[in-house]
Amino acid sequence: MVLAELGKRISGALRSLTTATVIDEQLLDNILKEVCAALLASDVNVRLVQSLRKNIKKIVNLEELAAGVNKRRIIQKAIFDELCRLVDPGVEPFKPTKGRPNVIMFVGLQGSGKTTTCTKLAHYYQRKGFRAALVCTDTFRAGAFDQLKQNATKAKIPYYGSYTESDPVQLALDGVERFKSDGFDVIVVDTSGRHRQETELFAEMKQISAAVQPDNVILVLDGTIGQAADAHARAFRDTVPVGSIVITKMDGHAKGGGAISAVAATGSPIVFIGTGEHIQDLDVFKAQSFVSKMLGMGDLGGLMETVQDLKLENSNLVKNLEQGVFTLRSMQQQMSMMSSLGPLSRVAGMIPGMPPELASQLSDAQGSANLKRIMCMLDSMTDAELDSDGRLFYTQPSRIYRVARGSGVRVGDVEMLLMQTKKMGEMFKTMSGMSKMQQKLGV
Ligand code: GDP
């Protein structure tokens, strides 16, 4: 993700605060210059970058700061807060309530990832216990209904659409009515993304919105869109009451900054980001978590939420996280959970202290290929070994040979597992220290 590049540049600029002996106007200007250059290089809207710079200069008035105050901390916090403001319009996003129909209408240009995201969202709510359904109203693009049907069938989500009805407004009305009377909680309406003329597209959107009276309109923006995002977002906002934004394709080479600027253009919060083509590749977006993660500070909140989402509140893993204890048994529990946790790379990025390069290296395929082998090794260990942090193996190396023989792997593989456990243990210790930098910044 190119945003990692942005994060690296900004945290690099912030690091100069720690190494500098004197903190003066000149240093602040240099830092701000680098932060702004990094944001512009990521396609964040020029006006937003200028106002971010102005705001930080206003907050951090070095001349007026009393002697003895921690200038480093004030600068760090001002930059962190302004980065958060950039992605957070301060509006509480719409949340569906169970037991009544919540109609969510999707809008966005063709190719932005709308249809894919509709299914991801319905799946997301389905996992949270909502009865979710999909309605396809795209009568313009041949194959649109087939695509939605295919996605929905795979995810076992009820859907509505038609090969013969050519009026999208009628389709929307019929679909929503059907699912309402069937008692569905979340009804996701996908709309067309392309027409012969843009005016037709916007007119249709307006009519569908007037007909189904959505509780929320979600604008889907392609993360690779660049500076054009601002104008696109405004055009949609002027036509329909955009309530939330989803930014897609943030897994690839998206600079992301352009789409992020749409927050200011619409005043609507980003609610999710799309991080891949698969149904589970949808991450809840939270401004502070996003900025923390981007700056390599981890996202303990997000990690805890992911774990809690799996209803593992009482599991030892959560206890490990809280206490900063990590044994081989913790590793065993974590490995057996890994398949439901989703790609390791996603979880890894949330761990404070985990270098982003390492997080992205822990790819999905690699993770699943190693999983079985690791489980075999752990299954070959005794209770005493599992309850240790691994040091036991180094004082008695014969244990390493025994586990290797028992699980049919090489000695090097067992050593690698022990090293990984040690590393995880160190990370968990950092996490239980509750991301010290975040605390220091008072966030
Ligand atoms: P629509 O025309 O707006 O409905 O767009 P689609 O849902 O058909 O998506 C267009 C393409 O983008 C498809 O190939 C999707 O698989 C892909 N896509 C959608 N969301 C993401 C994402 O978050 N990451 C990646 N890598 N691809 C995505």
In sequence order, what DSSP letters do the residues of 6-45 get, joined into one string? HHHHHHHHHHHHHH-S---HHHHHHHHHHHHHHHHHTT--
Cα of 325 vs centre of ligand 1, distance in Å, is 40
- With the most atoms of ligand 1 within 8 angstroms of its CB, the residue from 277, 279, 346 to mutate is 277
Provide the CATH number for the domain around residue 122.
Answer: 3.40.50.300
In this structure, the answer to whether residues 33 and 137 fall within a common structural domain is no
Cα of 366 vs centre of ligand 1, distance in Å, is 24
In this structure, the answer to whether residues 242 and 110 fall within a common structural domain is yes
Task: Give dist(CA 440, CA 443) in Å, integer.
Answer: 8
Q: Are 260 and 87 in contact (CB under 8 A)?
A: yes
Q: Measuring CA to CA, which residue among 66, 76, 69, 86 is closest to residue 28?
A: 76
- With the most atoms of ligand 1 within 8 angstroms of its CB, the residue from 190, 225, 248, 364 to mutate is 248
Cα of 274 vs centre of ligand 1, distance in Å, is 9
In this structure, the answer to whether residues 188 and 324 fall within a common structural domain is no
In a domain, 70, yes or no: yes
CA atoms within 13 A on the CB side of 193: 21
Q: Measuring CA to CA, which residue among 182, 126, 180 is closest to residue 152?
A: 126
Amino acid identity of residue 127, one-letter, is: R
In a domain, 293, yes or no: no
Ligand 1: nearest atom to the Cα of 112:
3
Q: Please name every residue paired with 160 in a beta bridge, in sequence order, or none if there are none.
A: 135
In a domain, 349, yes or no: yes
Domain end, chosen from 87, 118, 141, is at 87
Count of structural domains within the chain:
3
In this structure, the answer to whether residues 83 and 107 fall within a common structural domain is no
Residue nearest to atom 20 of ligand 1 (CA): 113
In a domain, 79, yes or no: yes
Residue nearest to atom 12 of ligand 1 (CA): 113
Residue nearest to atom 9 of ligand 1 (CA): 113
In this structure, the answer to whether residues 50 and 192 fall within a common structural domain is no
What is the reported pLDDT for 435?
43
In this structure, the answer to whether residues 146 and 279 fall within a common structural domain is yes
* ipTM of predicted assembly, 2 dp: 0.99
Q: Are 315 and 329 in contact (CB under 8 A)?
A: no
Provide the CATH number for the domain around residue 41.
Answer: 1.20.120.140
What is the reported pLDDT for 313?
43
Query: How far is the CA of 6 from the CAs of 40, 112, 435, in angstroms?
Result: 10, 23, 21
Ligand 1 is surrounded, with C-beta below 6 A, by: 108, 110-116, 193, 248-249, 251-252, 274-277, 281
In this structure, the answer to whether residues 355 and 426 fall within a common structural domain is yes
In this structure, the answer to whether residues 330 and 276 fall within a common structural domain is no
- With the most atoms of ligand 1 within 8 angstroms of its CB, the residue from 116, 119, 222 to mutate is 116
DSSP string covering 231-292: HHHHHHHHHS-EEEEEEE-TTTT---HHHHTHHHHH---EEEEE-SSSTT-EEE--HHHHHH
Domain end, chosen from 262, 286, 310, is at 286
User: What global pTM score does this model have?
Assistant: 0.72
In this structure, the answer to whether residues 132 and 83 fall within a common structural domain is no
What is the reported pLDDT for 181?
97
In a domain, 198, yes or no: yes
User: 188 is in which domain, residue-wise?
Assistant: 102-286
Ligand 1: nearest atom to the Cα of 275:
23
Ligand 1: nearest atom to the Cα of 194:
2
Cα of 149 vs centre of ligand 1, distance in Å, is 15
In this structure, the answer to whether residues 113 and 80 fall within a common structural domain is no
pLDDT means per 10 residues in the chain (443 residues)?
73 82 88 92 89 92 75 85 90 94 95 94 94 92 87 94 91 96 97 81 93 96 87 91 93 78 89 91 86 68 57 55 75 66 56 50 55 85 92 92 93 88 73 49 45
In a domain, 92, yes or no: no
Cα of 113 vs centre of ligand 1, distance in Å, is 4
In a domain, 294, yes or no: no
Q: Measuring CA to CA, which residue among 292, 267, 294, 270 is closest to residue 283?
A: 270
Cα of 112 vs centre of ligand 1, distance in Å, is 6
Domain end, chosen from 34, 58, 87, is at 87
Q: Are 297 and 359 in contact (CB under 8 A)?
A: no
In this structure, the answer to whether residues 72 and 150 fall within a common structural domain is no
In this structure, the answer to whether residues 178 and 268 fall within a common structural domain is yes
Task: Give dist(CA 259, CA 265) in Å, integer.
Answer: 10
- Residue position matching structure tokens 């009568």: 139
In a domain, 208, yes or no: yes
Cα of 117 vs centre of ligand 1, distance in Å, is 8
Cα of 192 vs centre of ligand 1, distance in Å, is 14
Provide the CATH number for the domain around residue 348.
Answer: 1.10.260.30
Contacts of the segment 363-372: beta carbons below 8 A, 24+ positions apart:
367/338, 367/343, 368/339, 371/335, 371/338, 371/339
